Amino acid sequence: MKKNEITIAQHQRLSDVLTEIPTGVILNKTITGCGATHSEIHAKRNSIIIEPNLPVIDGKCAKHPDIFGVKEGVTKEEIVAYLKHKTDCGYHKILTTPESFPKVRSALYEAAERIYDDWFLLFDECERTIQDAGFRGTITLPMDDFFRCRNKAMVSATPIVPSDPRFAEQKFRQLILSPSYDYKRPIKLIHTNNMVGWLVTFINDSLEMELPCCIFVNSAELIYQLIKTLRIENRSKVFCSADSVKRLRTLGFNNAHTLLEELAEINFFTSRFYSAVDIDCDKRVGVIMLSDPRFADYTMIDPLTEAVQIVGRFRNGVEDVAHIFYTDPSLTYKTQEQLTEELASCEEVYKAVSAIATTTARAQENKQEALRVMPHHRFMREDGQRNYFMWDNAYDDERIKLYYTDPLLLKTAYERTFCVEFYEYIYPDKECVRLIRPVQKIDTRDLFRGVIKQLELYENSNLPVQYIQATLTTQLHLMIDTYYAFGKETIEARGYRLDKFKEDLRENECQMLLSCDAMREFVYSRLKVGETVSVREVRSILTQAIDHFGIPYKKEVSSRLLKHFFKFERRRNMHERQIHIVEKI
């Protein structure tokens, strides 16, 4: 991809060096907070700005009254009403999450707006399309529309250049802001097995300087354990996703929020607040990042993207920045060559199954089910083509894992984006502060005794060991799922017959998936209250949604499934059966 550079001086904004963001570029801002989103909000054109997370949209809308924010709960009709309204700036500016983009597109069609010709589409903090794709496939929902737009761009201070060939086909180029000054911030890297002890040191340093302490760690469970261990429940706030808020409240910690509000003495943030969110504070803050692959691999913060974004969130600047981390030399990773070979071979098998000719509807249904349960299914698009964003996500995960196998590798990576002070403190285990666990672990000796007792029953069966292992593993997973889905009383009532629960478990999973937020957004973007559509069209839309989200629904797709989303009435005209949609559920 061709690269162009633009020099930017200290204290200059993007609008000082660039009249407007040009089309067909991946704009690498290099520095956070230089006003790229602000520039597009004030650009003299109609714009759709896709933001990775909801807090960004809420923050921007609070500052700019002409902006219309689209998120869950905002209807297509409200978007259409905004489009008919004349704004003070003379242009319409829509901010949306990727998941709500289909609603925006549908509203523009209804308002007779030519989205692909007359609107500018900007994907903000574009590295998230790659880094979040593994656990949030819906983040790339707008990509096909993105490539259909005449006027479009991606922007970030830490972009990852995607491998999707459509960028090359449409002659995208990288536009890089090159600061004329030393923009790298200082950071302390602490490699230690005593994470809690060093966290206490940095918290105390911040509080002694009367600075709010802001701690970034991508695990609500780890945050809870830290709060309990340090006994700081009454001095802390947590900013995280809605799911994490629920999880923390079930554990007894209630001061958790999905949206930004006034900071406490000690504040914890998860990855929901890594990108694009402006954190306005009337003073500088102390920033601490925590990563420990021994606890969970998703706590590993990327020095090239996430660390830069974290420090750049604070509009009044930071006083001190530290990353406390531990490495795991036994962490396994794949090189890009190894991963490419593995993914290519899996794709070959997937396509071979996809190419199998079927002669009956039942056979076709079985083939589609086989494709959906293949692990490689998530690396393919709905049209059967390669999902390059998922490939890039896999490459990125392996790159980050490699850093955390050796502290010097992480240090070297950090030196590309920060001025590094590196320290290493490894202590005897007995000197390390232990985390307080929210739930006591079962005594593994008791568990082992139970397993041995069951294995003894098989001792004289003459069955192959591999068969016994496979059977016990499968049965154990089913037992655990059944217990948490139905409880002890129901299991007792059915005589502990595991086979009686298999179909119910599958139905349970399907019902949960059918009613999830992403599924609702998908259906709501295609059907609206007050319209009358044919049963055939409803079944087609529901089938598309089920296939899109890979829901293991084995029954015939019926219009009755619409009950998960709408109240409706059945009608019939001379030609076909119809459904009139009354209201959303």
**Residue 297 confidence (pLDDT):** 87
Whole-angstrom Cα distance, residue 200 to residue 196? 6
Confidence category of residue 511, pLDDT binned at 50, 70, 90: low
Helix/strand/coil for 329: coil
pLDDT band, residue 440 (cuts 50/70/90): very low
> What is the CB neighbour count within 10 angstroms for residue 173?
15
Q: Of 550, 538, 562, 539, whose CA–CA distance to 509 is shortest?
A: 550
Instruction: Please indicate, yes or no, whether residues 16 and 102 belong to a single structural domain of this protein.
Output: yes
Angle at the Cα of 171 from the Cα atoms of 117 and 143, rounded to 5 degrees: 55
> Can you state the angle between helices 388-403 and 407-414, rounded to 10 degrees?
120
Neighbouring C-beta atoms of residue 506, cutoff 10 Å:
13
Q: pLDDT category, 508, cuts 50, 70, 90?
A: low
State whether 449 and 494 are in the same domain. yes
> Rounded to an integer, what distance in angstroms lies between the CA atom of residue 379 and that of residue 215?
34
Instruction: Tell me which residue has tokens 């994470």.
Output: 195
**Which amino acid does the sequence have at 4?**
N
* Residue 454 lies inside a defined structural domain of this protein: yes
Same domain, 21 and 154: yes
The DSSP letter of residue 430 is G
Q: Which of 500, 528, 548 is the last residue of a domain?
A: 500
- What is the share, in percent, of the chain residues with pLDDT greater than 90? 56
Residue 435 domain-assigned (yes or no)? no
Report the range out of 285-294, 468-477, 576-585 with the highest average pLDDT.
285-294
Q: How distant, in Å, are the alpha carbons of 133, 485, 548, 556 from that of 348? A: 22, 37, 21, 30
Q: Is residue 505 part of a domain?
A: no
- 254 and 302 both lie in a single domain: yes
Average pLDDT of the residues in 437-457? 67
Comparing 230-234, 297-301, 490-494, the range with the smallest average pLDDT is 490-494
Domain shared by 284 and 417, yes or no: yes
Higher pLDDT, 470 or 320: 320
- Same domain for 213 and 270? yes
**SS3 of residue 9 by DSSP:** coil
Q: 312 and 345, same structural domain?
A: no
Instruction: Note whether residue 353 is domain-resident.
Output: yes
Query: Mean pLDDT over residues 22-42, rounded?
Result: 93
**Helices (H) then strands (E): counts for the chain:** 22, 19
Nearest to 514 by CA among 503, 526, 522: 522
The residues facing 188 across adjacent strands are 322, 421
Which range has the worst mean pLDDT, 72-81, 211-220, 373-382, 452-461?
Answer: 452-461
Report percent pLDDT > 70 for the chain: 90
- The total of structural domains in the chain comes to 5
Residues 48 and 69 sit within 8 Å (Cβ to Cβ): no
With respect to residue 436, please indicate whether it lies within any of the assigned structural domains: no
pLDDT, residue 463, reads 64
Mean residue pLDDT of the chain comes to: 88
User: Are 580 and 551 found together in one domain?
Assistant: yes
Q: What is the pLDDT of residue 431?
A: 83
Assess if residue 264 is contained within a domain: yes
Q: Which of 381, 400, 419 is the last residue of a domain?
A: 400
Looking at residue 113, what is its pLDDT? 93
Determine, yes or no, domain membership for 524: yes
What range defines the domain where residue 523 resides?
Answer: 511-584
- Does residue 299 share a domain with residue 350? no
Looking at residue 432, what is its pLDDT?
A: 84
Asked whether residue 439 is assigned to any structural domain, the reply reads no
Q: What is the DSSP letter of 100?
A: G
Instruction: Give a three-class secondary structure readout of 337-349.
Output: HHHHHHHHHHHHH
413, pLDDT greater than 90: yes
Q: What is the CATH number of the domain that holds 37?
A: 3.40.50.300
Q: How confident is the model at residue 450 (pLDDT cuts 50, 70, 90)?
A: confident
Amino acid at 239: F
115, 144: one domain:
yes
Q: Within this chain, do residues 349 and 396 fall inside the same structural domain, yes or no?
A: yes
Q: pTM here?
A: 0.73
Pairwise CA distance, residues 228 & 181, whole Å: 43
Q: Are residues 174 and 107 in the same domain?
A: yes
Q: Cα–chain-centroid distance for residue 503? A: 30
153 falls in which pLDDT band (50, 70, 90)? very high
